[in-house]
Amino acid sequence: MWFLKERVEGGERAALERLGNVTYECFGRSGHVNRKNPDPKDVESARGALARAGEVIGSGAYDVVILDEVNVALQYGLLELGDVLRVLESRPLHVEVVCTGRGAPIELMGIADYVTRMDALKHPFDRGVEGRRGIEE
């Protein structure tokens, strides 16, 4: 489940296609979300993604569900933390849910089975290198 993306392209899509037996859905629009004053369409997309995530997770049909950039959607005020926590707390026990994005709220980390933090200590962007096909794109 992709929050904040209209479509999956480049390296992410190629990896998913190679894995096989993977389904994905995108909710979002092209361009960047205005974090100080989000467009109502972005809020609607994020809420639609969370509603669909709740259906998918609750169905128990998948062993793993990835909520890509859900933490960013929370940071930008597109979602209410309580709504996300309710979806996660109602999951069947055999369903693993992965929440990605920087700045996970402490409450979300409190109910998580795993918490991983990745910090960019060095990145080609720092030297002005644009996103590369198959790596960042």
- Percent of the chain past pLDDT 70, that is, above it, reads 98
DSSP 49-64: HHHHHHHHHHHT--SE
> Which of the residue ranges 50-54, 65-69, 119-123, 133-137 would you say has the lowest mean pLDDT?
133-137
**Residue at 116 is within a domain:** yes
**Residue at 134 is within a domain:** no
**Residue at 45 is within a domain:** yes
**Residue at 9 is within a domain:** yes
Domain CATH number, residue 122:
3.40.50.300
Domain residues for the domain of 51 are 2-127
Burial group, residue 125, by CB count within 10 angstroms (0-12, 13-18, 19+): exposed
Helix axes 40-59, 81-89, angle to 10 degrees: 10
CB-based contacts of 88, cutoff 8 Å, min separation 6: 57, 97, 99, 108, 111
Instruction: Decide if 63 contacts 23 (C-beta within 8 A).
Output: no
pLDDT in tens, 6-48: 887 777 778 888 888 888 888 988 777 888 899 999 999 999 9
Residue 130: predicted pLDDT: 84
**Residue at 136 is within a domain:** no
State the total domains in the chain. 1
β-strands 64-67, 2-3 pairing:
unpaired
pTM of the complete model beyond 0.85 = no
